[in-house]
């Protein structure tokens, strides 16, 4: 009975529009599924993909807004910021344990992913111009 319920919920998650964030109801069911011992790795992967699609544009927007000054000054490229934001989002989804709000954790992962990679790339870029 529980496995059938889990499968139905996974099917419901696949029906979510990719450009819409999860509603509180969907988040409660998602957290339940991620914490449920009967959830298989295949089911978790499907949930992770839905989370990624739902929050992909949000992560790009958040990172661009957060690092807007560096982008305007030309210190880092917007495409790099967006790419590392997606990497940070995927890491956040992969490591998310559903015991706390996702967006709070995702913001930290995105911020540090962009900051770590873009700062490193900016340092290398500046070092190359000095030579």
Question: Hey, what are 58's tokens?
Answer: 């949000």
- Which residues, at least 6 apart from 39, have a Cβ–Cβ distance to it below 8 Å? 6, 33
Question: Hey, what are 107's tokens?
Answer: 């913001």
Task: For residue 86, count other CB atoms closer than 10 A to its CB.
Answer: 19
What's the pLDDT at 86?
A: 95
Confidence of residue 121 (pLDDT cuts 50, 70, 90): low
Confidence of residue 61 (pLDDT cuts 50, 70, 90): very high
CB 101 within 8 A of CB 120: no
pLDDT at 19 over 50: no
Tell me the whole-structure pTM to 2 decimals: 0.74
Cα 18 → chain centroid: 13
Look over the chain and give the mean of its residue pLDDT values, rounded to a whole number.
79
Question: How do the domains of the chain map onto residue ranges?
Answer: 2-130
């Amino acid at each position: 009975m529980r496995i059938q319920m889990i499968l139905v919920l996974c099917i419901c998650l696949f029906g979510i529009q990719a450009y819409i964030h999860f509603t509180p109801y969907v988040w409660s069911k998602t957290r339940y599924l991620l914490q449920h011992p009967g959830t298989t790795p295949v089911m978790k992967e499907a949930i992770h993909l839905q989370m990624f699609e739902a929050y992909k544009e949000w992560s790009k927007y958040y990172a661009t807004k957060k690092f807007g000054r560096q982008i305007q000054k030309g210190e880092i490229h917007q495409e790099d910021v967006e790419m590392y934001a997606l990497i940070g989002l995927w890491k956040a989804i992969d490591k998310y344990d559903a015991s706390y709000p996702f967006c709070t954790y995702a913001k930290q992962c995105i911020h540090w992913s962009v900051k770590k990679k873009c700062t490193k790339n900016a340092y290398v870029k500046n070092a190359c111009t000095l030579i």
